[in-house]
Structure 1
Amino acid sequence: MIRLLLSDGHAPAREALRAGLVAAGGIEIVGEASHGDELLALPGTAAPTVVLLDLSLPGPDAFALLPALRGQYPQLRVLARGELSSEQYVARAFDLGSHGYVLKNAQMQELTHGLSAVAAGRPFLCSAIGLALLSRLYTGTPADGDAARLALGLSKREMEVLSLVAEGLTNAEIATKLFTSKRTVETHRQNIMDKTQTRNTAALIRLAAIQGLLPS
């Protein structure tokens, strides 16, 4: 029996997950979290064997949660669940302590298979990502920064700014790194948001992750 700590920041989605996982059998939900701080506090009392980690959970950044969870509870197994499929994003999750990665649109059967694999001490990668990586390997078509830039309608300098935003640099730090003014960086950021129809830094970082620009 897998003792599962379930996390999802969206209550209806969490309820649907709970129902599906309980119906699948072999899983006992021993705790639920809707916020990162709540998730960090629960394993000590709930004694789960596996945590299903929602990478978009409100609160501390998911990539800060992962090493914190592993540091506090080294025996805990982690299956990360996210919307992004870029290899850099997935690799970062594994590098920071996740034992598996599954997309949020995966079928319940694949999700339960992933939980079973992780609980048994095996790594797990959902089939959609695995097949995409395999296809890239055989076709020899790695991510192309220029192709991504052209598809987004960005200039080379705007693409540089987007990449540095993804690294977490402030406007002032980006200005220093690119030997330009803070005002110019602010203009570039606004142009990027206008061209990509994003509204804030979080959306920019999500875009950068999709385009494979997040630091590994």
Structure 2
Amino acid sequence: LNRELNYISGGSNRHIALYMAYRAAKSNGKYTRISLTISRHTDPAGGIYDMAEIRDISHVHCGTMVSFALLGGKPLKELPQDSRKGLLISRREQEIIYYISQGFTSRKIASELNLSEFTVNTHRRNIMSKTGTSNMVDMLLFAASNGII
């Protein structure tokens, strides 16, 4: 997989994310649906690291088809020096983004930050509006690509 990620990124400092959804057999012979997301990042010192997330998404009814998506942002070296400057993401919104990236639900984020769930959902909408994204995956990719998380 590392070879494929290197090939796809063209050896550049490009932030890329690979998403796969597939069925896997359990030891009892039943099947479960798995989501695998691998995201490649470059830190400020130029080091490259990968983050992987594996989830059981059996509750999502999407048939037996294997899904595959590759998302790539702008090469990191082409981003402006402080690409967050014009975003005006508040400290609270940065906290919300962090908790979302950790897989927290709005209810759990609300509990952690002593906020109402409604307030957390309002922050989520505002973040997506400010980042110009329409879903959480794109928002998290944007946040990672722009150094917010």
Question: Under a length normalisation based on structure 1, what TM-score does the superposition of the two structures give?
Answer: 0.37
Aligned counterpart, 2:43: 87
SS in structure 2 of the partner of residue 192 of structure 1: helix
Distance in 1, Cα, partners of 2:101 & 2:42: 14
Distance in 1, Cα, partners of 2:49 & 2:4: 21
Q: How does 1:42-57 map to 2 (within 5 A)?
A: 55-57=17-19
After TM superposition, give the deviation of residue 7 of structure 1 in Å.
6.1
Amino acid across the alignment from 2:20: P
- Give CA-to-partner distance per residue, 1:65-100, whole Å, 9 cap, x none: xxxxxxxxxxxxxxxxx6x54329942449xxxxxx
Question: Under a length normalisation based on structure 2, what TM-score does the superposition of the two structures give?
Answer: 0.52
> Which of structures 1 and 2 has the bigger CA Rg?
1
Aligned counterpart, 2:37: 62
Contact 2:110/2:116 (8 A) holds in 1: yes
Higher helix share: 1
Higher strand share: 2
- Give CA-to-partner distance per residue, 1:171-193, whole Å, 9 cap, x none: 11111111101000000000111
Task: Check if 1:185 corresponds to 2:120.
Answer: yes
Aligned pair count reads 103
Q: Which runs of 5+ in 1 are unaligned?
A: 9-16, 18-53, 64-81, 95-103, 106-127, 133-142
Aligned counterpart, 1:170: 105
Structure-2 change in CA distance of 1:93 and 1:184 (3 Å): closer
After TM superposition, give the deviation of residue 148 of structure 1 in Å.
5.8
Distance in 2, Cα, partners of 1:177 & 1:148: 28
Q: Quote the RMSD (CA, aligned, Å).
A: 4.0
After TM superposition, give the deviation of residue 170 of structure 1 in Å.
0.9
Bigger relative contact order, structure 1 or 2 (CA pairs below 8 A, ≥6 apart): 2
Distance in 2, Cα, partners of 1:151 & 1:158: 15
Amino acid across the alignment from 2:120: V
Distance in 2, Cα, partners of 1:149 & 1:6: 31
Q: How does 1:6-25 map to 2 (within 5 A)?
A: none
Structure-2 change in CA distance of 1:151 and 1:91 (3 Å): same
